[in-house]
Amino acid sequence: MSNRTALMVVGGALGCLILALCVVAAGLAGISYYTAASAVRTVDRIAYVDNNLNIQVADAQGQHRVALTSDASNSAQKAYLFPTWSPDSQQVAFVGVSGNPNQREAAINVAPLAGGASKTVFKSNSQFPFYLYWAPDSQRIGFLAQGEDEMALMLGQTSGAGETRTLESGSPMYWSWSPDAQAMLLHVGGSGRDSNDARVSLLRWQEGKQPQAFADKPGAFQAPHFSPDGSAILYASSNKANEDDLFVADVQGRNPKSVTSYQGTIAFAWSPDSKKIATMVTPDDADLPMQAPLWVSDADGKNRKQITTEDALAFYWSPDSKHIAYLTILLPGQSSGRSRSNGLNTPQRQAATIQLRWKVVSAEGVQARTLATFSPTDDFISLLPFFDQYARSLTFWSPDSKHFVYTHSDDDSNGGVWVADLDGAKPPRRIGDGTLAVWSWR
């Protein structure tokens, strides 16, 4: 195990977590922030975890580079993780953890790209945040934190003022913000077939009331989704003996209409313009957490059709709703498609032995082509089992839908940040050194 890996083990499915932050060490003190506003472009930027576990920001050419932190290292028991852009692209939130294995402290910090002091949203030596999801108004951050006995959904103000609030507890837990930031659509406890505590509910967090649970038990799925225009929601329910249904309903969960029936586990996402729904259904006997062809339908479930002939591990809509980037796997000795012999259950072992491909296809299912073939970093692999939740809170697409960022593994602890162009006119280019990179929303 490398020094970096010993310092930080990210990922993995605990079966009940969106992402497990297992063994990390990172620094909270001595954060160095760039404060010269004139030198920082505040839109169309890439934030990434560099090979020293600091947070960097750069443009698509790797220029105008800014170090948001500078005091982490492989040997200093300090790291900064999970960079997450605010919806207005003016701030980056990230987690810092410091200390030895017997005494750690974690914090959520927010760095404004236009200059000024950073803010600490949350700090604890008993609860460790591992997933960040900004409210659409860019004023608050919802996050999951693992304590000794339970996992909690918490809410903090990005100004650093006031106490963080615990909104819900239970595991696994997934959610979607309403576009007006006034409500959260929650899915807690897994499938109704597996747990009596499983539930889909609507939480209006400002009212201080308990979440309003839907009458139907949840089906086999992870992340629910508010439509980007705020008019509807997507969730799955298990009302049948052998099948579940993906439903579209109004924002109160009323008047549900089936988009499709399925057997297995479904992942889904609205297109950014709220006109289309993309889905994939992973069979129960699959070795990989998510692996299935992609389907796209209209918002009401009509005109549903398969748009890929090969299995995808994950997918992300382009901001203009015209394309979907999807991930495929190439194992040693395999040219394409599906494998049932190996899973992505041990990312530190397998990252160096597998090849992945980002491909892109139009929403109509034509012109599928390869964006990049690469060896994934451990940090990226750890996101894959929960890509549908991460698709709510981060993007790899550039705001203009013309470029795509990914990280390629150089060895067991280092990686490179690469940008691929949608038109394929030029080969992908390396813009920096790092293990996880995300693009700003604007």
CA–CA gap between residue 315 and residue 56 (Å, rounded): 25
321: pLDDT confidence band, cut at 50, 70 and 90? very high
Cβ–Cβ under 8 Å, residues 167 and 136: no
- At residue 333, the pLDDT reads 62
Concatenating the DSSP letter of every residue in 274-317 gives: SSEEEEEEE-TT-SSSS-B--EEEETTS-S-EE--SS-BSEEEE
Across all residues in the chain, what is the average pLDDT?
Answer: 87
- At residue 1, the pLDDT reads 31
Q: Which residue has the higher pLDDT, 74 or 118?
A: 118
Cβ–Cβ under 8 Å, residues 246 and 280: no
CA–CA gap between residue 417 and residue 412 (Å, rounded): 15
Q: Which residue has the higher pLDDT, 188 or 335?
A: 188
What's the whole-number mean pLDDT along residues 200-221? 94
- At residue 30, the pLDDT reads 38
Cis ω before 172 (30° cut-off from 0): yes
User: Pairing relation of β-strands 314-317 and 305-306?
Assistant: unpaired
What's the whole-number mean pLDDT along residues 144-172? 93
**Which tens digit of pLDDT belongs to each residue from 414-438?**
999 999 999 999 999 999 999 999 9
The answer on pLDDT for 22 being more than 80 is: no
**Which range is least confidently modeled, 18-22, 312-316, 389-393?**
18-22
- At residue 426, the pLDDT reads 96
**Which tens digit of pLDDT belongs to each residue from 69-104?**
999 976 778 999 999 999 999 999 999 999 887 889
For 228-384, strand residue ranges (E) read 233-237, 244-249, 257-262, 265-270, 276-282, 295-298, 305-306, 314-317, 323-330, 355-362, 369-374
Counted residue by residue, the chain has a size of: 442
What domains does the chain contain, in order, with CATH numbers?
1-171 (2.140.10.30)
What's the whole-number mean pLDDT along residues 324-340? 70
Cβ–Cβ under 8 Å, residues 48 and 437: yes
The answer on pLDDT for 236 being more than 60 is: yes
**Which range is least confidently modeled, 220-229, 252-261, 339-348, 424-433?**
339-348
The answer on pLDDT for 362 being more than 70 is: yes
What's the whole-number mean pLDDT along residues 382-397? 98
Helix (H) or strand (E) holding 38: none
Cβ–Cβ under 8 Å, residues 72 and 78: yes
**Which tens digit of pLDDT belongs to each residue from 252-295?**
999 999 999 999 999 999 999 999 999 999 999 998 999 999 99
- Token pair of 200 as six digits: 């889909």
Give the helix ranges, DSSP H, for 140-297.
none
The terminus-to-terminus CA distance of the chain in angstroms comes to 38
Give the single-character DSSP code of 382: T
